[in-house]
Amino acid sequence: MTGGLAGQPTAEQPTTAASKSERAYAWLVERIARREYAPGYRLVLATIAAELDMSVVPVREAIRRLEAEGLVTFERNVGAHVAMIDDSQYRQSMETLAVLEGAATALAARRLTPADLRRAREVNRRLVESLDDFDPHTFTALNQEFHAVLFAPCPNPRLLELVSAEWARLGRLRDSTFAFVPGRAQESVREHEGIVGLIEAGAPLADIEEAAREHRSATLTAYLHHEHPGEQR
Amino acid sequence: MTGGLAGQPTAEQPTTAASKSERAYAWLVERIARREYAPGYRLVLATIAAELDMSVVPVREAIRRLEAEGLVTFERNVGAHVAMIDDSQYRQSMETLAVLEGAATALAARRLTPADLRRAREVNRRLVESLDDFDPHTFTALNQEFHAVLFAPCPNPRLLELVSAEWARLGRLRDSTFAFVPGRAQESVREHEGIVGLIEAGAPLADIEEAAREHRSATLTAYLHHEHPGEQR
DNA sequence: GACCGACCATTCGTATACGATCCGAGAGAT
DNA sequence: ATCTCTCGGATCGTATACGAATGGTCGGTC
């Protein structure tokens, strides 16, 4: 391993700072995020190990971690696949996110400084601009940034952890809703302004929470209507 | 490796249905749950492997899984310890649970049958009875059962997953709040009745959600007041 | 006597090895 | 020709082996 070749013995390269399993994890997340490994892709331990120049053991660990986080599915004696999210799961996760983000936004509201609000508006302005030549990916990225600014000062890190874990599951596995229902984007940025306004005005936290939640739910509803026009729910 | 001892060759015992890593996982959860391995306990791979009569590899996998779920902490090249939850984390998790459970209860409300409500009341009646000779553990178990009945029909399994994951983190790692603030128990059962009443009466979902959330938050507040009477928050 | 540095035991991290399991392809029978 | 059974390749699951990092202890020095 690394054969005892006489490298710079004194050079304390902290390159090895991360363990191999961590590198494998990061590498896989990267690939999944950029859809090089698309949902459904078969992950073969030995292949990945070879590509990363390590044994299967760390790769295995990385994959199990991804499984725990819901990014890959794993079947005994069969192997791992990049997770696929069906409509039902998508709906559930979005609904959950609506709840979590709504709460986080409300908890953060009183801690947002004027500077934060300015920054939020700035991001939203860029969202408006991006409407011109619409690209779902760009829009989604900015959209997430907008909301991140709003709930960043939330005093409950645990809540934020759950939010970002859920986004990781979703954002990386499925194209943004806006790719399916571009029309939703316009409404969305309008609602953003409304939320910032509520916060600025010191509105009751319950109102802020509801607005944030509804905002997210509306995106989901738009998607469902678009995909399954018949259904009620 | 089960040393080739001549077991019943034809007996297709599906005992081996679960992989070793799964067995190790279940075993560890069990030990942690029953506080045989208390918070802070050092988990040594080789020791556990020996006790379970397997190699360290599956044990390692089980521990990493527990880490992902937040039940153990893991430090590189040092090892794993059963997670300890400090006041701050406890507060955050309870707050998060208040949000999640509130939402789950509201989503489930319209789907609860009269039979469900009867069952909830029955559990609450047992809670009242248990107040006589108060045992925090029994009380907490019944308490969780009560709430589980209420949000079981929640149509969003993902939300329920997060709820139970969070309870696993907490319930297994720290004694119930009621051990610290027994007085809270009385209020708690009264509030239960209020929540069931709201659901039965078909109250607005927002009201139900708020009641459920407040109910959980109140427990937290009681604890904080008891432990840190000075602080305002 | 107290502080500092080197040694050793313990335990983790990863590689390699091998048996177990699954899936598909090809031979054989109907 | 089609269906079935068997065999073989591919891949996973776990054991064992060994280098590497950590933490504590012992001995040396000021």
Nucleotides of D under 7 A from a protein CB: 11-17, 19-23
pLDDT digits (tens, 9 = 90+) for A121-138: 999 999 999 998 888 888
- Cβ pair A76:B19 closer than 8 A: yes
- Residues A193-218: what's their mean pLDDT? 95
Please tell me the predicted confidence (pLDDT) of residue A15.
45
Give the CATH number of the domain where residue A41 resides.
Answer: 1.10.10.10
Residue B13 — pLDDT band, cuts 50, 70, 90? very low
* Structure confidence at residue A99 as a pLDDT band (50, 70, 90): very high
Note whether B56 and B110 are same-domain residues: no
Task: Using DSSP, state whether B131 is helix, strand or coil.
Answer: coil
Range of the domain at B174: 87-227
With a pLDDT cut of 90, the percent of chain A lying above it is 67
Residues B35 and B111 in one domain: no
Chain A interface mutation, best of B156, B205, B208, B213, highest count of A Cβ atoms under 10 Å: B156
Number of domains in chain B: 2
Residues B130, B73 share a domain: no
Q: What is the mean pLDDT of residues A86-107?
A: 94
Residue A2 has pLDDT above 70, yes or no: no
B170 & B68 share domain: no
Residue A230 has pLDDT above 70, yes or no: no
Q: How far apart are CA B70 and CA B35, in angstroms?
A: 16
Confidence of residue B110 (pLDDT cuts 50, 70, 90): very high
Query: Which two structure tokens, joined as six digits, stand for B114?
Result: 């009269």
The predicted pLDDT at position B87 comes to 86
Chain B: give the shortest CA distance to residue A12, in Å.
18
pLDDT at A83 over 70: yes
Rounded mean pLDDT, B153-162: 96
Binned at pLDDT 50, 70 and 90, residue B4 comes out as: very low
Does residue A211 fall inside a structural domain?
Answer: yes
For residue A99, list chain B residues with Cβ-Cβ distance below 8 A.
99-100, 103, 159
Pick the residue with more confidence: A156 or A233? A156
Q: How far is the CA of A93 from the C1' of D26 (A)?
A: 59
Residues B199 and B178 in one domain: yes
pLDDT of residue B45: 96
Predicted confidence band at B70 (pLDDT cuts at 50, 70, 90)?
very high
Based on the fold, state whether residues A159 and A69 are members of the same structural domain: no
What is the structure's pLDDT at B169? Answer: 87
